[in-house]
Amino acid sequence: MSLRVRLGRYRATARTKLRQAFEEEHTPHQVAASFALGIFVTALPTGGLGLGLFVVFGRLWLWVSTPALFASAAVLNPFVKPAVYVSSITLGGILLGTDPVVSYETAAESASVAIRQLLVGNLLIAVALAAVSYVVVRRLTLARRARQALSLIHISER
């Protein structure tokens, strides 16, 4: 299966899940907050445990929109995650003032530096992505629902 086909599938999945979230009974804030929470969790280096957390979140909190959570996983898919991690290590290195991992260091020192850089940078990137995604998805939800309301008005006028 080609890269283009796989990326198309991820895009279609994200679109489908977001449409489901737009049509739920949740408020625009709840849909956007659910998507932002999903982006935050998915951006973190959870090793795939994020999807399990989505199920737990959906059961613990009634306000959570499960389709919005899973749409976020389709957006931050396996093709995007490496860029997030490379950016995280770079940002972490800049913020911590540490040099990038050097080859002459011991494996333990290199791993310690890389993990610190990854975690600090990744946390900040996850927060930024979540904030931006909240704003975007809230606006999309409001726009979609406004279009639906207008179409219902036009149908009832006939």
What are the pLDDT digits (tens) for 37-63? 999 999 998 887 888 898 899 889 989
Q: How far does Cα 134 stand from its chain's mean position? A: 10
Q: Are the beta carbons of 89 and 119 closer than 8 angstroms?
A: no
The pTM of the full predicted model, rounded to 2 decimals, is 0.79
Is residue 26 helix, strand or coil?
A: coil
Q: Are the beta carbons of 76 and 39 closer than 8 angstroms?
A: yes
Contacts 24+ apart (CB under 8 A), 106-112: none
Q: Are the beta carbons of 113 and 98 closer than 8 angstroms?
A: yes
Residue 110 clears pLDDT 90, i.e. is over it: no
Query: One-letter amino acid identity for 52?
Result: G
pLDDT tens-digit series, residues 63-107:
999 888 888 888 888 888 889 999 999 999 999 887 655 566 677
